[in-house]
Every structure is written in C-alpha cells, then in structure tokens.
C-alpha cells in the first residue's frame, strides 16, 4: 500500500503547470491528498485530511501540539517555505516527526522585492501613480538610494543577499543579528552594530528577522524614538515584529517618513495602514516569483520523499 502525502500548502497550486509536474512525480510512489479548498486549512480540516498521512507538504497551517497529537501516522512535515514558527517543533520532535523546510528557495525573490520597495518609497512611486490616475500632475522630488545608510536587522540568508544587492548603489550598510556571522561581516566590510546604533544612524531600516518570542513587537515606541527623523522602515520578515499602533503614531508624526510591509500579524490585512498614503502594503508575496516558487516546490517535494524513503 502506498504511503499518503497531504499537500496542504495553498500556494502549491498557484502555478498549474509546475504543480502538475510535481504531482506526477509524487504519484508514482505515493497516494496524494490535495487541499480541496486551496486556502489555508483550519485545524479541524488539517486533522481530517492528514489523519492517515505519513507526509505533509505544508504551508502556513498551524501545527499545534494538539493537532500533531491527532496525526498518529505522520513522519514528516515538509514546509513549502522557509519559516517553521507555525509548527510546534518541540512536540514534533517528541513525536518523532521530522520537520524540513526550503531555506534557500526564496532568498533572491525577497531581497529583490525589498530593493523594489525601497526605491518605490524613496521616489514616491505608488503615491505619484495614484495622483496621476486621479488627474493630478504632481512632480514631487524624491531621494536617491545612492549614499544612504541602510540598517539590516536580521542578517541571515536574505539579509546577506540584500546587503550584496545594495552595494552597487553605493549604500553604507549596517547590520544587526543575534547570532552574527562575524567572518561574513569582515569579508564584506560591513559593520555589525547594536540595534540602538543602527537605529540612530540609518536612513532606511529593513527587517529580516525570524519570528521568535523575543522579537514580538521589537519595533515599538522605544525603537522609534532611537531612529532618525524621516527614516524609511520596511518589514519583509514576520507580522508580529512591529507594534502597529506605535508605527501609525510615528508615521503620523513624521518620525517615520514612509513604510513598506509585506507581512502582518493578521492576514489578510484590512487595518488602518490601508488608509495611509506613505505606506506600501503587499500581500505576503516576498517569495512569490515563478522562479522561486518552482524551486521551493521542488525542494519541498524532494524533502518529503527523501524523509519517507529513509524511514521506510
């Protein structure tokens, strides 16, 4: 009897031709159960469809301890993505469930989106686009990226790639990471500094941290007070990192000149930031390119097959 794999990741189905090839590859040796809703599964739905499965290709569904306990046959969760904060890793380990992810697949895509958002904010691109569509010919002066000090909080794969993409623009780059790769900082001639120093010196602050309990609301009134007046802030990491009420207050006061967010504590986002003209909002699409999705799906499939073959 074939082992069963649930493809619960809703984003797995968004590129039909690629998906078809992956599923053909899987069905040779495994029975595939598809997410019938093509959206994020609720806990009761996840349990229903995964109960008899040995493997799951997962998106951002919540794998709590309670949910994992009700999946007795599960051997592997293969994340169709990077983050694993939606999975109770301690409980998974206790139950003998291997958790794999695809850490390198979306690095370039997220870094490129960050560059695009920075330039869009510096040159007021969405704002001017909206004005011209309303019949207003407003030739507003923007700013160059060249010569700006960019502070990167979270210098992992994506933070490092962003730094490399920024260098040709002639930016001065500062970094902060809880586990700094000191050799990389030396080789790249980039300063690793405290958050306080980074905030006080940066014209642009870009967040690329993991979602850890200590990062909850790390960007709040205290952090904003340490930043330069007129700073640009970007969050392409996790939604709970910024205290939204404090961000709105700082945007209204002019302390923060503009912001771009691709991630939100509650998604889909429908909050007050949607009314602010100096904010760009994108719907969690950091890794959403055809190229990165292809690589991510391929890695997710290979990971689950590798683990299930190993454990047979």
Q: Which residues are catalytic?
A: 238, 267, 284
Structure tokens belonging to residue 147: 């010569």
**Separation of alpha carbons 236 and 261, rounded Å:** 6
Q: Respond yes or no on whether the N-terminal peptide bond of residue 285 is cis (omega within 30° of 0).
A: no
Closest C-alpha among 301, 311, 307 to residue 20? 301
Listed residue (83, 136, 121) closest to 105, CA to CA: 83
Cα–Cα distance measured from residue 261 to residue 233, given in angstroms and rounded to the nearest whole number:
8
Strands of 55-58's sheet in order across: 30-34, 3-7, 55-58, 76-79, 98-100
Which residues, listed in sequence order, are joined to residue 130 by a DSSP beta bridge?
Answer: none
CB count in 10 Å sphere of residue 184: 15
Q: Tally Cβ neighbours within 10 Å of residue 106.
A: 23
């Amino acid at each position: 009897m074939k082992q069963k794999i649930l493809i619960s990741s809703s984003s797995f189905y968004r590129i039909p031709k690629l998906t078809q090839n992956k599923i053909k590859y899987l069905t040779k040796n495994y029975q595939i159960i598809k997410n019938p809703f093509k959206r994020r599964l609720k806990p009761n739905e996840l349990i229903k469809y995964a109960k008899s499965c040995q493997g799951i290709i997962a998106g951002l569904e919540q794998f709590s301890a309670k949910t994992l306990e009700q999946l007795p046959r599960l051997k592997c969760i293969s994340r169709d993505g990077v983050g694993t904060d939606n999975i109770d890793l301690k409980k998974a380990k206790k139950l003998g469930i291997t958790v794999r992810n695809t850490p390198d697949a979306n690095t370039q895509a997220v870094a490129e989106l960050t560059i695009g958002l920075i330039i869009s904010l510096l040159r007021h691109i969405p704002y001017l686009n909206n004005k011209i569509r309303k019949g207003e010919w407003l030739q507003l002066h923007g700013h160059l990226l060249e010569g700006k000090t960019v502070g990167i909080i979270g210098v992992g794969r994506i933070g490092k790639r962003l730094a490399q993409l920024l260098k040709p623009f002639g930016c001065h780059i500062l970094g902060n990471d809880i586990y700094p790769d000191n050799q990389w900082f030396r080789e790249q001639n980039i300063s690793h500094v405290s958050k306080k120093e980074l905030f006080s010196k940066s014209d642009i602050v870009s967040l690329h941290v993991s979602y850890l309990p200590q990062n909850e609301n790390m960007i709040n009134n205290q952090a904003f007070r340490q930043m330069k007046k007129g700073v640009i802030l970007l969050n392409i990491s996790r939604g709970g990192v910024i205290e939204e009420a404090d961000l709105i207050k700082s945007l209204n006061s002019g302390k923060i000149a503009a912001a771009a967010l691709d991630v939100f504590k509650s998604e889909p986002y429908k909050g007050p930031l949607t009314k602010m003209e100096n904010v760009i909002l994108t719907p969690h699409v950091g890794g959403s390119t055809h190229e990165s999705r292809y690589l991510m799906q391929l890695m997710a499939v290979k990971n689950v097959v590798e683990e299930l073959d190993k454990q047979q």
